[in-house]
Structure 1
């Protein structure tokens, strides 16, 4: 997900200066739960590889490594302290613990899909790891889904900017990917919230 507080020009300057380290650290921190524009950094890395400034396979390798490491950090933070923190946030916004427990159960039932596919969804890429930890997803299962999702996501992003970036302006490419991620987020939120709302309405009518 792209953030206006970090311009594309700034990200390009950082990538030019630090190369593979910028790709690795940007994605690691984003997947650990820090809202940095890791997706944009990955696209910029692939674009620079397409222009010959970086090596495609090194960009891809560092992107995968950063995504795996970052999500692992997020998972353990969520597993150790995530639930008490979530309850505190819930009290702040007057969300009942029962509702949070219901959302937690919903995520647990779909944790594997969320970890694997969540990388293509705005915000979920940042919070999938911590949420998996909060939901107590078995670590071996998380690790498998995390690695598979990281490899798939990084391959798509790096390859997209490597090839398409040669014929489409980078700004347009980043904007298009961000819009896709936001649409995916809206669909996911609807998929989670609507059933809960419907069940709650049905219960009130009884």
Structure 2
């Protein structure tokens, strides 16, 4: 799943024409939040390596380096300006600051997993690094997960295209990768949104029950006051 502004055919042509630079810049720019299909560029690089047009190890190193540098830049953008931007977006969508703070806390608890496994999910790959910066994830810890995740992701993607590309057309690989990204994104979205929704629903129920309890107490108190004058008359 990626916000592609370039057709798969054009991506393949770019990879053929500019080789390693196209792979490096494609994934680096994607990690900075730009709608560049870095994963597709990487698959194209692996496919070209499988047909001996590019060197396999250079493609892996290129993709890993672009992902690592892009992730680091995204982290520092999030660290120094992301929180203010997130609050402004929250106001735009009428999300309370307390709710955004809770989301930041929850992401912080799972930041390492998000940075590592997010490499395999297009939208999360774009936003995981800035969110890690916003959540205040220690830089040394981020660097570890980011670097290992980038190398793992690059190796898997390039190897997939390198070997499968010999029996499956490149366009089919693009389609399969996109479908996998959609499913993975929906699962991650459910993992994040459902607990938050349940917690919000639980809070509303508690508020409603509390209000109901207060109303009962007030009614009982008023009823008691109404009885007292009658007792005095007797």
Q: TM-score, normalising length from structure 1?
A: 0.97
Aligned to 2:24: 24
Aligned to 1:89: 89
Q: CA RMSD of the aligned region, Å?
A: 0.9
Aligned to 1:44: 44
Distance in 2 separating the partners of 1:165 and 1:148: 25
Q: TM-score, normalising length from structure 2?
A: 0.86
Aligned to 1:160: 160
Aligned to 1:103: 103
Aligned to 1:171: 171
Q: 1:146 to 1:4 in 2, by over 3 A?
A: closer
Deviation for aligned residue 1:122: 2.6
Distance in 2 separating the partners of 1:42 and 1:162: 10
Structure 2 unaligned regions, length at least 5? 207-234
Distance in 1 separating the partners of 2:95 and 2:205: 21
Deviation for aligned residue 1:13: 1.3
Structure 1 unaligned regions, length at least 5? none
Distance in 1 separating the partners of 2:128 and 2:3: 19
Distance in 2 separating the partners of 1:36 and 1:57: 23
Moved over 2 A (4+): 1-5
Aligned residues: 206
Tell me, what secondary structure is at the counterpart of 2:86? helix
Aligned to 2:138: 138
